Amino acid sequence: MVVEDEPNIGALVRTYLDRAGYRALWVRSGEDALVELRRHPIRLVVLDIGLPGIDGFEVCRQIAGTVPVIMLTARDEEPDRVAGLEVGADDYVAKPFSPRELTARVKAVLRRAERVDQREVLSVGTVTLAPAAREVRVDGGEIELTQREFDLLEYLVRRAGQVVTRDELLERVWGYLAPGETRTVEVHIAQLRKKLGQPGLIRTVRGVGYKAAA
Ligand code: CA
């Protein structure tokens, strides 16, 4: 969730997070942030300090410990950065920031925050994935996948039974918007099927996309 009252910055941050494969919800005030946090399974909050109504510090004070927070601070305002960390922020990014830097911070904070999920195991049929360890097993035997193949398989397995389009895969797994470059997806799917040795696990839904199913 992005909490930012400046339209340009809010839109920019959301766009970059979407491109990085996250689904970003953007709200414009601290009050809205507190309401939306209760309504959605938010994994991380990017929080501006200067907001209409209750400010970022107060929001952070209320939510710290329940969800990771990255504060957006004004450059060279050391007191803001220190205060942000004191009220429980996990990290901060100084304005003006590069969207890439922010995305990198988001990834790093999520990685740290979600270590508790290290034991998570996903499975479809005889294929099991341990995302934290990045291990894939077929019938109990480990197989080697490239990073992209793993991400692709994880994306499909997390949505087992649902059809996923090639454009969605490009956007979410490759992290950029390149509709039309679906050949890339097809090549990786073919490779993945070969390595899994289970051609039926990732099904082609003609004219639409793919579906992982047991
Ligand atoms: Ca602001």
The reported pLDDT for the residue numbered 76 is 64
Average pLDDT over residues 59-72: 89
Assess whether the region 2-114 and the region 122-212 belong to the same CATH fold: no
| CA-based nearest residue to 10, from 55, 58, 54, 47 | 47
Average pLDDT over residues 76-94: 77
| CA-based nearest residue to 106, from 66, 60, 70, 149 | 70
Low-confidence winner among 3-17, 66-80, 127-141, 156-170 (lowest mean pLDDT): 66-80
Confidence of residue 55 (pLDDT cuts 50, 70, 90): very high
Distance from Cα 113 to the centre of ligand 1, integer Å: 26
Mind listing the pLDDT tens digit for each residue in 120-151?
Answer: 889 999 999 998 888 999 999 999 998 889 98
The reported pLDDT for the residue numbered 134 is 87
Is the model's pLDDT at 190 over the cut of 60? Answer: yes
Q: Domain segments of the chain: what residues?
A: 2-114, 122-212
Q: What is the DSSP letter of 49?
A: S
Structure tokens at 73: 């601070």
Q: How far apart are CA 211 and CA 205, in angstroms?
A: 7
| CB-count burial class (<10 Å; 0-12, 13-18, 19+) for 88 | middle
122-212 carries CATH number 1.10.10.10 = yes
Q: In the CATH hierarchy, which fold is given to the domain comprising 2-114?
A: Rossmann fold (3.40.50)
- What dihedral angle (degrees, nearest 10) is formed by the CA atoms of 120, 40, 26, 49? -90
Distance from Cα 38 to the centre of ligand 1, integer Å: 22
The reported pLDDT for the residue numbered 193 is 95
Distance from Cα 35 to the centre of ligand 1, integer Å: 19
Q: How far apart are CA 45 and CA 25, in angstroms?
A: 9
Average pLDDT over residues 100-107: 90
| CA-based nearest residue to 150, from 101, 196, 206 | 196
Q: How far apart are CA 176 and CA 174, in angstroms?
A: 6
Distance from Cα 62 to the centre of ligand 1, integer Å: 18
Distance from Cα 55 to the centre of ligand 1, integer Å: 9
44-54 per-residue burial string, b: 16 or more CB within 10 A, e: under 16: bbbbbbebeee
Distance from Cα 144 to the centre of ligand 1, integer Å: 46
Is the model's pLDDT at 106 over the cut of 80? Answer: yes
